[in-house]
Amino acid sequence: MALNGVKFLRLPIYLRYRLYGTESAATVTHTGQTFSLNDPSVARFTIGDKLVNKQFAEKLIAEVPPIACKENITSCDGGGGALGHPKVYINLDQPGNHACGYCGLRFYLDKKSH
């Protein structure tokens, strides 16, 4: 019986992976990366499924509308006090949206109130 276990361990990694038959390795990640079932790099997912978050941060941030500002310079601290990020100042002199480098919130200069 121990001999069968030794034979199993001598199989190539991709064959050992295919014995489990999970399809979770084919899920597309937030970077657009996907793996084929024959790829040896997915051997680490033989025991459990590969977990991929379907709510990408890019899509969630894009759903938040840009924030109108009345002054040429605004600040962003993440909105959470100690749970936010370091305070950064954003120059709004150029037209269009300007994003915070930490959290991705967008700001623009409201010319109606200026």
pLDDT tens, residue by residue, 56-78: 888 888 899 999 999 999 999 88
Is the domain of 98 the same as that of 61?
yes
Is the domain of 61 the same as that of 105?
yes
pLDDT of 95: 93
50: in domain: no
pLDDT of 98: 96
Could you read off the pLDDT of 9-44 as tens digits, one per residue?
555 555 554 444 455 556 777 777 777 767 776 666
114: in domain: no
Could you read off the pLDDT of 81-102 as tens digits, one per residue?
788 899 999 999 999 999 999 9
pTM: 0.58
Output 99-107 pairs: Cβ under 8 A, ≥24 positions apart. 100/76, 102/76, 102/78, 103/61, 103/76, 103/78, 103/79, 104/57, 104/61, 105/61, 105/64, 105/67, 105/76, 106/64, 106/66, 106/67, 107/66, 107/67, 107/68, 107/69, 107/74, 107/76
pLDDT of 49: 65
Is the domain of 73 the same as that of 101?
yes
Q: Which residue range is the domain that position 94 belongs to?
A: 57-109
14: in domain: yes
Domain count, the chain: 2
CATH code of the domain covering residue 64: 2.60.260
pLDDT of 56: 80
